[in-house]
Structure 1
Amino acid sequence: MSDLRITHIGGPTALIEVGGWRLLTDPTFDPPGQRYTFGWGTSSRKRAGPAITVAELPPIDAVLLSHDHHGDNLDRAGRDVLGTARTVLTTPAGARRLGRNARGLAPWTGTRLQAPGRPTIDVTATPARHGPPLSRPLTGQVTGFALTWEGQQHGALWISGDTVLHGGLRHVADRLSVGTALLHLGGVRFPINGPIRYTMTAAQAVDLCRLLRPHTAIPVHYEGWHHFHEGREAIERRIAAAPADIRNRFHWLPTGTPTRISS
């Protein structure tokens, strides 16, 4: 089986390359400085651009889109990328809005990526909740993704999507053996909502890794936007205080550089 390579492009956006497949998560390629609204009086400004431009991307086989309705997960330039991919996997509501090549997956349903000369990748949607209990009517549908293929040594590649720690993620730990976890962190919050968080904090990520026991945990979605309230330094402090068995599972990817991951 070919090596797994992951390139963190910025924010939630990562290029996953394995066995000839090129998969892209949550495309965000706009330049910094623009402001985006998220509904219900919330907005944010983008602080940093991507480490790789759209023009520098290789051909994309599939986009794994946690949700389509927030600009920090799918921005204007990112929408142009969707049309170039063979398949876009996302939530059922997102697929209805996007149409074209988008396919909606409800939690714990799946599909297969197949092509001659390449390994078959099974993709399973996993639960995500983009805020506190009962917030889904406001925050909309969000999904994570678990990817499995023949030859994985440590378990599935799992992308959390934008989510807080909740019962659905605990079910992920019960149902999946996770080798590599891409964790959307940042502790997202907005002044209008006070202390309410809309993505995992570092403390929640540590607690989740106690349950998941992934071989490798990779933070993404922690920088580049004004509403991300836990950057790398804060996350590193919390991880440093965790037991060594948990602390040593976390690895940071240099943005823009393909990194080999033991799968």
Structure 2
Amino acid sequence: MTGIRVTHVGGPTALLEIGGWRILTDPTFDPPGRRYAFGWGTSSRKLAGPAVAAEALGPIDAVLLTHDHHGDNLDDAGRALLPSAGTVLTTASGASRLGGNAQGVEPWSSTRLERPGLPTIEITATPCRHGPPLSGPIVGDVVGFALRWAGQRDGVLWISGDTVLYGGVREVADRLRVSVALLHLGGVRFPVTGPVRYTMTARRAVALCRLVRPRTVIPVHYEGWKHFQEPRRTIEREFTSAPADVRGSIRWLPIGTPTTLDV
């Protein structure tokens, strides 16, 4: 099995269909218009709703939740969906807040999704830093995920999570062979904190891809919110001037439309 199906729902939210498994990332299903507080005087307004309603998704076997404490990664409608999912993997601190079916993971720890008749998926947590050095106590814990299963051709499916480029993320290049990368971009910043970035910029994403060398790069977390500062045109411009192998790796998924990928 090498083919999977990915539906980019919007923002960071994607449905991954892998050999019968149905896995959802960072559920965000609230309608647009509301302003959300992110703490320490920061806030943002949601500009676009999901391309697929939560009730139209069908059953969800697992949720990969990079963090639970920001509304652009888990909103009210997304939170309401969690109890119906078989498993929720998230940060250890997030699992303690969520309770129920939430399971905490630490960077470079691994867990498995197992069910008779379905391929076993090994999920390894990867490091994230959601802002500048020493920002952890303010912005909170975040985690990424690398998915491995039998039959993969070129390497793991990696979900970066909300992170800047730093040493922990660079470890992915040393530890993992990546086939498909869902990169959380957007170059997030807020007026109250000036030029400081809280997610990866397009320029940093190109630098990361030169290290990790994924065959396919899928941008997520770049549209639908006011605090996302780098839209698609900015990301395209940076990748257009990148080396040929990086330039050719980027793939934009039509939002709301299932797309089949080789992994």
TM-score interval (norm. to shorter): over 0.9
Match of 1:89 in 2: 89
SS in 2 for 1:235: helix
Match of 1:200 in 2: 200
Q: Residues of 2 paired with 1:132 and 1:170: CA distance?
A: 15
Alignment size in residue pairs? 263
- Is contact 2:2–2:152 with CA below 8 Å preserved after alignment? no
The within-5 A match list for 1:113-192 is 113-192=113-192
Q: Residues of 2 paired with 1:77 and 1:170: CA distance?
A: 33
- Is contact 2:67–2:142 with CA below 8 Å preserved after alignment? yes
Shift of 1:74: 0.1
Q: Residues of 2 paired with 1:139 and 1:2: CA distance?
A: 37
Shift of 1:2: 5.9
Q: Residues of 2 paired with 1:37 and 1:55: CA distance?
A: 26
Question: What is the TM-score with the length of structure 2 in the denominator?
Answer: 0.99
Q: Residues of 1 paired with 2:4 and 2:118: CA distance?
A: 13
Match of 2:214 in 1: 214
SS in 2 for 1:78: helix
- Is contact 2:219–2:252 with CA below 8 Å preserved after alignment? yes
Match of 1:24 in 2: 24
AA matched with 2:55: A
AA matched with 1:33: G
AA matched with 2:187: G
More divergent stretch after superposition (2-11 vs 90-99): 2-11
The Cα offsets for residues 62-98 of structure 1, whole Å up to 9 and x where unpaired, read as 0000000000000000001111100000000000000
Q: Residues of 1 paired with 2:256 and 2:220: CA distance?
A: 13
Shift of 1:244: 1.3
Shift of 1:203: 0.3
AA matched with 1:192: V
Q: Residues of 2 paired with 1:240 and 1:58: CA distance?
A: 37
Q: Residues of 2 paired with 1:4 and 1:95: CA distance?
A: 28
Match of 1:79 in 2: 79
Q: Residues of 1 paired with 2:187 and 2:76: CA distance?
A: 24
Q: Residues of 2 paired with 1:248 and 1:78: CA distance?
A: 33
SS in 1 for 2:164: coil
AA matched with 1:63: V
Shift of 1:186: 0.1
Q: Residues of 2 paired with 1:159 and 1:86: CA distance?
A: 20
- Is contact 2:108–2:124 with CA below 8 Å preserved after alignment? yes
SS in 1 for 2:174: helix
**Aligned-pair Cα RMSD in Å:** 0.6
Question: What is the TM-score with the length of structure 1 in the denominator?
Answer: 0.99
Q: Residues of 2 paired with 1:55 and 1:86: CA distance?
A: 16
List runs of 5+ in structure 1 lacking aligned partners: none
Q: Residues of 2 paired with 1:211 and 1:58: CA distance?
A: 37
Match of 2:8 in 1: 8
- Is contact 2:2–2:151 with CA below 8 Å preserved after alignment? no
Match of 1:241 in 2: 241
Match of 1:62 in 2: 62
Structure 1 residue ranges (4+ consecutive) displaced by more than 2 angstroms after TM superposition: none
Q: Residues of 2 paired with 1:111 and 1:246: CA distance?
A: 30
Shift of 1:55: 1.2
AA matched with 1:77: A
SS in 2 for 1:83: helix
SS in 2 for 1:100: coil
The Cα offsets for residues 180-238 of structure 1, whole Å up to 9 and x where unpaired, read as 00000000000000000000000011000000000101000000000000000111111
